[in-house]
Structure 1
Amino acid sequence: MADVSDDARQAAYPAAWEADVVLQDGTTTHVRPLRPSDADALQAFHVGQSERSTYLRFFAPLERLSDRDLTRLVTVDHDTRVALIAVAAGLDGSEQIIGVARYDRLEDDEAEVAFNIADAHQGRGLGSVLLEHLAAAARERGVRRFVAEVLPQNGRMISVFKDAGYAVRQRTEDGIVAVGFDIDPTDRSLAVMADREHRAEARSVRAFLEARSVLVVGPGADAAGSPRARAAATALANLRAGDETVALHAVGVEDVGPGVHEYDALELVAGPVELAVVAVDPTDAVEVVRALARLGVRAVVLLSAGYAELGPEGLDRQRSLLRVAHAAGMRVVGPASYGVLVASGDGWLNASLAETPPATGRVGLFCQSAPMAVSLLAAVRRRGLGLAEFVSSGHRADVSGNDLMQFWADDDGTDVVGLYLESIGNPRKFSRVARRLSLAKPVVVVTSGRSGQVVPPGHAVRPTHASPRALDEVLRQAEVIRVDNTHQLLDVVEVFAHQPVPAGRRVAILASSASIAALVAEAAAAAGLVVPGAVTILSEGGTPDEAREQVDALYADPDTDVVLVVLVPTIGHPDPELVRVVARAAARTGRTTVACVHGLHGITSELTADDDQGRPRTVPAYSAPEDAALALGHAARYAVRRARDRGRTLHLEGVDTQAARRLVADWLTEADGGVLELDAERTAAMLATAGIAVLPSFEVHDADEAVEVARRIGWPVALKTTAPALRHRADLGGVRLDIDDEAALRSDVAHVLSLAQSQRGDPGRAPLEVQAMGPRGSACVVRTAEDPLFGPIVSFGLAGDASDLLGDVSYGVPPLTDVDVAELVRSPRAAPRLFGYRGLPALDVASLEDVVARVAVLCDDLPELRSLELNPVVVAESGVVVLGARASIAPADRADGTRRLQRV
C-alpha cells in the first residue's frame, strides 16, 4: 500500500459514512470510520475479547496487538483500506469500540473483508449492520466483490454473509473456508436490509411505548417557576394520574406528590428505568443523558427546546446530545416534544403535557409540532375518537414518523394511523415504510405545507430544489391518504377506526329531502364516489316501519358498496329510532357508512350497534354533508388502490449500472469535486450501459461540412442549431426536417445560421448539428434530477411550449415498478396523443415505457448522475428513437439508505 500521510488521511476522512443505527434488540449505536487516534481503544477492544474470538479473527492466539500490528490496523486511507467501528458509551462517558469491520482492496473491484464483534455484544445484529455499512462504503469506492477466509468453526460469520441476502460461494481448502460474494444490491439483499431495519426500529419504539418505569428529570429548584420546571411538573402529575402500575421516579421536579420515588441527584436513582422524560436547560442535557445511560434507559422524551432552532450552535448541541444518547443505546423523542401517550389495560401511560387524555381506542396518531398536538388532541376528545398511541416528536431529531410506522405495522392494537408532518427528513425511506404499512392498514397524512419545501425552525432537513409536485408523488407512491388539514385527517381516521374498509366506490344516498339528496350526490361525485342512482328519500310523515323498510331496501341493494346518510329535518331533530335503524343496518350488512345527522358529531352512542360478531360499529357523524362525502371518498379510493396490482421491481435486459459507475468514476477525476457537463460522446456511452441508444448527431460549422455529413449518413437529414433559445424549436426555425438534397441543405444552413447568429450558446461549440431523420411520431421529454432531499426524480412530458408553460409534466421518485412507469407516462394531460387521439394511429407506448424504465433504473443506481435530459424522444407507431441527450455528473451526495438513520 502506498504511504499515506496523517494529514492526507485526516483530509480524506469520510464523515458522510458516520451514522446512528438501530440494532436488532432495539438499542442504538454509532458507526463511523476508524481513525489513527483510535489505537488505544482498538487495543482495549482486542484485549477484552475471549481467546476463542481472537483465534477466529486472527487464526492464532494473540493476547495483545503488537505496536506494528496496531499501527497497521489503524492506518487506513478510506479507499484501498477501509475500517468501520461501532462504538458504545463507557461508564466514564468515553467511547468504547464494540465492533470492527474492514476491507483491504485486492484488485480494482475486489476486496478482502474481516469482522470482529465484542463478545458481550454478539447476537445484537452488529455484524449485519456493519456489513451493510461496509458494503455501501465499498460500492462508493468502486469495490463490487468481497472475499474472506474463515475458519470452519466460525459459522456465525459465514451466516452473516448469507443472511444478508448475498449469493455466497464458498470452498474449503487446507482447513480454511474461502468465501466470496458480489455486494451490489439484489432484490433479496434489499429485502433483508429492509426487514432487519423494520424489526429493529419497531422494537426500539415498542421498548418505550411499553415502559413500566419512568423517570422525570426537571431543572431543579434554581429554575423554579420556569417553563421547563412547569413542563416537568406537569408531565409527572399526568403520569401519576395515569397507569398506577408504572413505577415513577423524579429528580429536580417541583410538587412531586405521593407514589413517586424522589431523588436529590441522578446519581442516586436506583435503576433500571425504561423511559426518561427530560425538561432541563439545553446546556445541561448532554450530561443528563450521559447519566441516564447507567439506568438502562431505552428512550428520552425531551420536552424542552433550545437546540437546532437557535442556529449552528444549537444544532451542534443537538448533535452532541444524539451522539451521547445513541452511543448509550437510547432513542430521543424531541426536542420540543409534547410527549407520549399510550393506552393500556390499567389506564394511560401519559408521559406528556396533556392533562386530559382522550378515550382509548384503536387509532395511532403521530404529530411533530407540540402546539399542533394541543389542538389535535383537543379535537380528538371533542369527537370522542379513541386513541391507542399518541407521539409528538417535536423537532424530530431522532424518533420520526418512519419509526412509529415501523411499530404500527406489527401492532395488533391499531387499525388506522394518522400523521401530522411538518417535515420529512428522508422521503425515499418514508415512501418505502409507508407503502409497507398501507398494505396492512390505512395511513392518513397531512403536511404543514403542500410543497414540502417549508422547513420549520429546529428541523434539520436537507434543502430541496424539486418541484412542489415531487412530494405529491412521494405520497402517492407511498399509497397514503393525503388530506389538506387536521380536520380532514380526523374525518378520514373516524371512518377507518369504526367502519369496515369499503368494498368499492359505488355509493347509495339516504336523505331526508330531495334537495339535500341532489347536493349530496354532487358532493359524492366530486369526492370520487360513483353515484349509480340509488338515492332514497325518506317518506315525509311516514311510519317507523316504512322508514325501516326503505333503509333495509337501500342496504340490500347489491350494486351498493358504501352508504352516505344525511338526516337534516327542517324542524326539530331526526327520529332517534330512525338513527338507530341506520346504525343497525350498517353494522348488520358491513356496508361502510358515514352520516350527517343534525345534533350529532363524531363518535356517538346513538349511531353505534353491534355487528354479527358482537363487535360495536359506529357510523361516524359529520357536521356537513361535504365533510362526510370527502371522508368516504378518501376511504373508497384507498380500498381500490390497496386491491390493485402495485407492480414489480424493474429488471431490464441490457442494463449494466456497474459499467456506468466505472465510467463516471473515471470522468469525475476531471471534475475536481464539482459538476461536470458530459459531452455528447460520453453521454451516449453512459446511456448505452442502460441499453439506451442515442441517434448520433454531428456538429458542423458551415454548409460544406453539413453536406459532407449528410452524404456520409444518408439522406434525408435534419438540421438543428445549438443556440439554447432555438434548440428543439422547429416553430421558430431552429430545426429543419426532411432535407433530402444538397441544395435544400445549403439553403437551410444559411437561414439557420442567420437566425442563430445572435443566439450563440457555448462559444466552443459548432453552431449547427446534422442528424439522420428519425421516424415520425410524437416528441416526448424524459428528465432526471438528483435532489439533495428527495434523491433522484424522474419527469415525463410531451415536448412543446404547452407542456412547459402549463406544467403538464408527471413525476416519479425511484425506485419505480412497472406499474409506476405506466402511470408516469399516462399522467400528463396531453398523454392521450400517444394512444390514438382523434383518429391518429396509436403509438408504441410499450417502447416508450421501456426507455423511461431504463432511465429510472440508471438514476436510482447512479447517485453521481446530477441531471439527464432526453429531448426529444420520438415515439413512432413502432419503436422509439432518442434524438438528443444531455447529462451532468458530480460526486455522490445521497442521504437516504436502508442501512442508516438520517443524519443531516
Structure 2
Amino acid sequence: MDAAPSGPVPYPAHWEADVVLADGATAHLRPIAPADADRLVEFYARVSDQSKYYRFFAPYPTLTSRDVSHFTNVDHHDRVALILLVGDDMIAVGRYERVNRTEAEVSFLVEDGHQGRGVGSVLLEHLAQAARERGMRRFVADILPANRKMITVFADAGYTVDNSYEDGVVHVEFEIAPTGTSLEVMAAREHRAEARSIERLLRPRSVAVVGASRSRDKVGQTLVRNLVLSGFTGPVYAVNKEARAVTGLPAYASVRDIPGDVDLAVVAVPADSVTDVVLDCAAKSVHGLVVVSSGFAETGEPVGRARQGELVRLARAHGMRIVGPNCLGIVNTDAEYSLNATLATVLPPPGKVGFFAQSGALGTAILGDGAARGLGLSTFVSAGNRADVSGNDLLQYWRDDPVTEVVLLYLESLGNPRKFSRLSRAVAEVKPVVAVKSGRSTQGVPLGHTVRPIQAPAPALDAMFRQSGVVLVDTISEMFDVAQVLAYQPLPAGRTVAVMGNSGALGLLAADAAVSAGLDVYGDPLSFGAGATADDYRQALASLMAQPDVSSVLVVYAPAVDASSGDDVAQAVADVVAGAAKPVVGTFQGRRGVHGPGAVPSYPTPEEAARALGHATSYAEWRRRSHGTIPAIEGCDPDAAARVAREVLTAAGERADDGVDLGPEGLRALLATYGVELLSMRPAPTLDAALAALDELGGEVVLKATAPRLRHRPDLAAVWRNIDSPAEMRDAWVTMTQTMADPAAAGFVVQPMAPGGVPVVVRAWEDPMFGPVVSFGVSGVATELLGDRSYRIPPLTDRDAAEMVREVKAAALLMGYHGGIMADLKAVEDLVHRMSRMVDDVPLVRAIELSPVLAGESGLAVVNGSARVAPPAGRQDWYTRRLS
C-alpha cells in the first residue's frame, strides 16, 4: 500500500498484539483511538518532566486539548500511533509521521516506571512492521544527546543506523527492512522475555490456592495438600470465602487479603468465577495463574469459548501468563522450590527431563508412567486447553535451563507451527527434543484448543519435525523409551550396535530389531549361554565397548530358572557403563525403566530397546552434521512480485476475495520477479491458431493439452512433440482432437520444444495455519498415486533443499538410473529455493505449482505451471514479537 489511500483507512485490528516484556510480564499493544483521550492525559500526567523534555525538546508540563485531539486522531497510514497498555492504563506510546513517500519520523514516550522493561524495542518492531505495510522504507528521528535510553533503543535494534550531530541534536536514520541482524536481535529478545515469563511460573516464592476446600474429595484441597506434602519451600496461602482454615493453613476470603506477596495463583473455582479471581490477582501483582478449573472452550459451546477468550485477554492485559484452563498443573522438582501445583499425587523423582503435555486428562497417567520407570523430571507443565502458555513458551525456557537435558512434548495442536519449527530447531541443536503429536492422520484439533486445523498433509508435518531435529514418535510409551536413552546415556557416535547376551534366540531377535531400526549390527550377536555369570557379562561388555567400530551396545539378559535375581549381572553391566562414552541399553528380565545401579535403560523386549536406540542414533547424526545456511539467491524481488499479485487482484474486483488464478502471461510475469523463466506458450483453441503459433515460434514445437484432467496421462496422448511444419501440425491437431471426448475443453497450447530432461514438480503454498510449505517430486502418475513427495518449511538452508531433492524414492531417476541422464541437481535446488522464497516473502501468493519442469544435464526448463493469488490470510509474521 505505497500509494495514498482513496478513502479513510479502516482501523487496523491486525496490528493489535499481546506482547511479553523483558521482565516476563505481558502487555497489550494496539493502535491509538479517539476514545483514548482521557487515557492519554492520565498517562502524560504520570510521565516525569525530564521524559517530557526529552520528547518535545522543551518544558511541556501538560497537553492542550488541541494536542490531545491531534495525538489521538490518526489516519493509520501517514500518521500512525501504537500504545501499550497494562490493564486499563497506557504505559507507552510510539508513533510515526510520514515525511515523504518512503520515509517517516518516529518518536516514543514511555512512562518512567516502565522504562528498562524493553517497551521501546517492542514499539519500534511493531511500528516498523506497520510502516512497511504502508510502503515506507526508512525511519528518522531527532534525539537529545542526554536521552541515552532512546539512542540505545535504535542502536541495539539490529538495523544499520546512521547518526549525525548538529545544533545540539542527534539525528538518526535507518532502513527498516528486516535484516539478518535485526531478526537475530528480535529473536534473542523474544527468547529472553518468554523464558523469563515461564520462569516466573515455575520458580515461585509463594503460591495461593484459590478455591482451597476443606473437603478431601475436592480439587481445592488436593492442590493444597500436594503443595504442602511436596515440601514447597515458600508459603502456601489458602483462599476460601467461607472457611477460616484449610488443612491447617489460615484461609483468606480473597487473594487481595493475603498479607504477603503472591507469585503464583492456582485457581480451582467454578468457571464463571474465574474472571473475578483474575482481577483480584492483578490487584495483588500476581505473576501468573494455573487454572485447573474446567467449563471453558473444551465444552465446545460458544459461552465456554467466550469465557476462555476473556480469561486470556484479562490476564495478559494485567501482565500475567496462564497455564490452562482445564489443566492438571505444573511441577518443579528442584529442591530450591519443590513445587507440585498439580492434582497428581504420584510424581517421578527429580531428574533431567522437562515435560510439556497439552492433555489434562492424560496428565496423571503420564506422570504415573514416568514414576514407574524411574524417569526423573526437572519440570512438568500440563497446559490443558493451551489458551496461553504453549509448548513454544516452554521451549524458550528449557533451551537455557541447566537442569533440563531432555525435552518431551505431548502435543495435541500447534498454535504457531512456524514459530515451533524455529524454536524446536534452536533447542534440538543443544539438547534432545522428543515429541508425540496426536491427530497426525486427521490433523484434528481438540475442542478446547482455539486454533485452526492444519490443512497441510501429514507428511508435511512430519517433515517439519525432522527438519527441526525433533525426534517424532508415535506413542507416549515410545517417547519415554527414547527419553530413557537420551537422559541417562551418551549420544552414540555412529550407527553400529553390538548385540550380546545369554540367549541366542533373544540375540537374533535383537539383531533383527536393530536392523529394522536403521542400525548396523557389529558382526554376529555375541551369545555365551544361559549359564553366563556376572564376570562373563563384565568382560564381554568391556571388550565390545573397547572396539572402535562399535558405537553402542544392546545387552540381553534372560535369567535361568534356578538363577538368582540377576542383581550381580546388573551391577557388572553398571560397572562397565559408568563413565563410558558409548550408550548401552538392555532387555533385562522384562523390566522397563532405569531402575537399579548405573541407570542403564531396560526394556521388556529387544524390539523396544532397538527402536529407542535407533531414535537416539538418528538424533545424534542430525546434531553432528552441518544444517547448512540460508543461501543468498540473486534475482528475487518481493516488491515486484507483490505488485504483480496486486495488479491481478485489482483487475479481478470483487472476485479477488476468493483468490484469482493467474493466466500464462500473469504466471510468466510473476516467475520473472524471482528469476525463473517460463517457456513460451501460445494458446491454440483452433487449428488456425496452432498454425499461427508454429509460424511465430519457429523451429520445432509441441502441441499439448493443458487441462488438469489430461496432465500426466501415461499414454502421453495429450502431447505431440517435434512438430516443425504446417503439415505435421495439421496431422497432430486432427489426431489429438479425434481421440479426446471434449477437444474444446482440452486447453491446447503450442510451445517450443524444450531440451530433454527428467520431469519434476515443485509446489509451494500457504497453509492457513502452518504458513508457507514447499514440496518436491518427480512428475508423473506414480508420484501422484504413491505420494512420493518431500516437504519442507521455509526458510530453507542449502542442506534442506539438497536433502529435499534427494530423499524422494524416485530421486534415482535424476542420477542416471538405468542409463538415464545425470540431472543438474544444483539447478533443481535453486528452483526449490526460489519458489519457497516467493511464498515466504509474498503472502499474496497463495499457491504456485511448476509442472512439469524438465531437469536436464545442464540447467532446466519450466514448461508449465499455475499460480493463485489472494489477499493475505493473516499470517503470524515473526518480524514482530507477539503472543499467538
TM class, shorter-length: over 0.9
Measured after TM superposition, the shift of residue 539 of structure 1 is 4.1
Measured after TM superposition, the shift of residue 622 of structure 1 is 1.0
Secondary structure of the residue aligned to 2:465 is helix
Partner of residue 163, structure 2: 170
Equivalences for residues 441-456 of structure 1 within 5 A? 441-451=431-441, 453-456=443-446
Partner of residue 571, structure 2: 580
Pair 1:790 & 2:770 matched: yes
CA contact (8 A) 2:212 2:238 kept: no
Partner of residue 637, structure 2: 656
Partner of residue 401, structure 2: 411
CA contact (8 A) 1:508 1:563 kept: yes
CA contact (8 A) 1:242 1:347 kept: no
CA contact (8 A) 1:29 1:88 kept: yes
Name which of structure 1's ranges 882-891 and 192-201 shifts more when overlaid on structure 2. Answer: 882-891
Measured after TM superposition, the shift of residue 309 of structure 1 is 2.3
Partner of residue 266, structure 2: 277
Separation in 2 of the partners of 1:543 and 1:195?
55
Q: Name the CA shift for 1:211/1:544 in 2 (closer, same or farther; >3 Å).
A: closer
Pair 1:326 & 2:316 matched: yes
Separation in 2 of the partners of 1:104 and 1:780?
49
Q: Name the CA shift for 1:181/1:572 in 2 (closer, same or farther; >3 Å).
A: farther
Structure 2 unaligned residues grouped into runs of 5+: none
Calculate the TM-score normalised by the size of structure 1.
0.93
> Which 4+ runs in 1 deviate beyond 6 A?
1-5
Q: Name the CA shift for 1:28/1:588 in 2 (closer, same or farther; >3 Å).
A: closer
Separation in 2 of the partners of 1:84 and 1:472?
39
Residue-by-residue CA offset, 1:639-694 (whole Å, 9 max, x unaligned):
11100010101321111213223333444334543312222222222221211111
CA contact (8 A) 1:451 1:471 kept: no
CA contact (8 A) 2:499 2:525 kept: yes
Secondary structure of the residue aligned to 1:62 is coil
Match among 592, 609, 617 for residue 628 of structure 1: 609
Measured after TM superposition, the shift of residue 3 of structure 1 is 10
Partner of residue 222, structure 2: 234
Aligned residue type for 1:287: D
Pair 1:289 & 2:278 matched: yes
Measured after TM superposition, the shift of residue 869 of structure 1 is 0.9
Q: Name the CA shift for 1:75/1:749 in 2 (closer, same or farther; >3 Å).
A: farther
Partner of residue 236, structure 2: 248
Secondary structure of the residue aligned to 1:462 is coil
Secondary structure of the residue aligned to 2:636 is coil
Pair 1:778 & 2:762 matched: no
Separation in 2 of the partners of 1:466 and 1:342?
36
Residue-by-residue CA offset, 1:31-87 (whole Å, 9 max, x unaligned):
112222112112222222222222222233222222222222222233333222110
Aligned residue type for 2:73: T
Partner of residue 615, structure 1: none
Separation in 2 of the partners of 1:433 and 1:731?
47
Pair 1:390 & 2:380 matched: yes
Pair 1:647 & 2:617 matched: no
Measured after TM superposition, the shift of residue 20 of structure 1 is 1.1
Secondary structure of the residue aligned to 1:580 is helix
Q: Name the CA shift for 1:511/1:392 in 2 (closer, same or farther; >3 Å).
A: same
Partner of residue 611, structure 1: none
Aligned residue type for 1:242: S
Separation in 1 of the partners of 2:136 and 2:830?
29
Aligned residue type for 1:655: C
Separation in 1 of the partners of 2:646 and 2:723?
40
Partner of residue 882, structure 1: 862
Structure 1 unaligned residues grouped into runs of 5+: 90-94, 609-617
Measured after TM superposition, the shift of residue 276 of structure 1 is 0.3
Residue-by-residue CA offset, 1:459-486 (whole Å, 9 max, x unaligned):
0112322111121011111111111111
Separation in 1 of the partners of 2:17 and 2:814?
46
Match among 814, 826, 835 for residue 846 of structure 1: 826
Separation in 2 of the partners of 1:720 and 1:146?
53
Secondary structure of the residue aligned to 1:645 is coil
Partner of residue 358, structure 1: 348
Pair 1:721 & 2:710 matched: no
Residue-by-residue CA offset, 1:525-547 (whole Å, 9 max, x unaligned):
11111113152112454565444
Partner of residue 482, structure 1: 472
Aligned residue type for 1:395: N
Partner of residue 92, structure 1: none
Equivalences for residues 71-110 of structure 1 within 5 A? 71-89=69-87, 95-110=88-103
Pair 1:202 & 2:195 matched: yes
Q: Name the CA shift for 1:532/1:123 in 2 (closer, same or farther; >3 Å).
A: same
Partner of residue 112, structure 2: 119
Separation in 2 of the partners of 1:355 and 1:181?
57
Pair 1:14 & 2:47 matched: no
Separation in 2 of the partners of 1:777 and 1:121?
63
Separation in 2 of the partners of 1:2 and 1:698?
38
Separation in 2 of the partners of 1:888 and 1:176?
50
Match among 675, 679, 686 for residue 695 of structure 1: 679
Match among 21, 24, 28 for residue 26 of structure 1: 24
Aligned residue type for 2:678: V
Residue-by-residue CA offset, 1:758-780 (whole Å, 9 max, x unaligned):
2645xxxx942211111101111
Secondary structure of the residue aligned to 1:164 is coil
Separation in 2 of the partners of 1:249 and 1:739?
87
CA contact (8 A) 2:504 2:529 kept: no
CA contact (8 A) 1:753 1:767 kept: no
Measured after TM superposition, the shift of residue 346 of structure 1 is 5.5
Separation in 2 of the partners of 1:286 and 1:219?
17
CA RMSD across the alignment: 2.3
Q: Name the CA shift for 1:767/1:562 in 2 (closer, same or farther; >3 Å).
A: closer
CA contact (8 A) 1:362 1:386 kept: yes
Secondary structure of the residue aligned to 2:578 is helix
Equivalences for residues 331-350 of structure 1 within 5 A? 331-345=321-335, 348-350=338-340
Measured after TM superposition, the shift of residue 207 of structure 1 is 1.3
CA contact (8 A) 2:17 2:882 kept: yes
Separation in 2 of the partners of 1:825 and 1:244?
54
Residue-by-residue CA offset, 1:833-868 (whole Å, 9 max, x unaligned):
001111222111111110110111111111111111
Aligned residue type for 2:282: A
Separation in 2 of the partners of 1:346 and 1:69?
53
Separation in 1 of the partners of 2:255 and 2:579?
57
CA contact (8 A) 2:714 2:781 kept: no
Aligned residues: 875
Q: Name the CA shift for 1:621/1:786 in 2 (closer, same or farther; >3 Å).
A: same
Separation in 1 of the partners of 2:492 and 2:740?
60
Separation in 2 of the partners of 1:810 and 1:27?
41
Aligned residue type for 1:706: A
CA contact (8 A) 1:551 1:581 kept: no
CA contact (8 A) 2:713 2:781 kept: no
Pair 1:734 & 2:724 matched: no
Measured after TM superposition, the shift of residue 711 of structure 1 is 2.4
Separation in 1 of the partners of 2:521 and 2:547?
13
Name which of structure 1's ranges 411-420 and 563-572 shifts more when overlaid on structure 2. Answer: 563-572
Measured after TM superposition, the shift of residue 743 of structure 1 is 0.9
Q: Name the CA shift for 1:120/1:731 in 2 (closer, same or farther; >3 Å).
A: same
Pair 1:806 & 2:786 matched: yes
Separation in 1 of the partners of 2:272 and 2:814?
62
Q: Name the CA shift for 1:886/1:141 in 2 (closer, same or farther; >3 Å).
A: farther
Q: Name the CA shift for 1:788/1:534 in 2 (closer, same or farther; >3 Å).
A: same
CA contact (8 A) 2:296 2:304 kept: yes
CA contact (8 A) 2:238 2:246 kept: no
Q: Name the CA shift for 1:753/1:103 in 2 (closer, same or farther; >3 Å).
A: farther
Separation in 2 of the partners of 1:3 and 1:195?
36
Q: Name the CA shift for 1:663/1:78 in 2 (closer, same or farther; >3 Å).
A: farther
| Identical pairs, percent | 45
Equivalences for residues 312-323 of structure 1 within 5 A? 312-323=302-313
Measured after TM superposition, the shift of residue 699 of structure 1 is 1.6
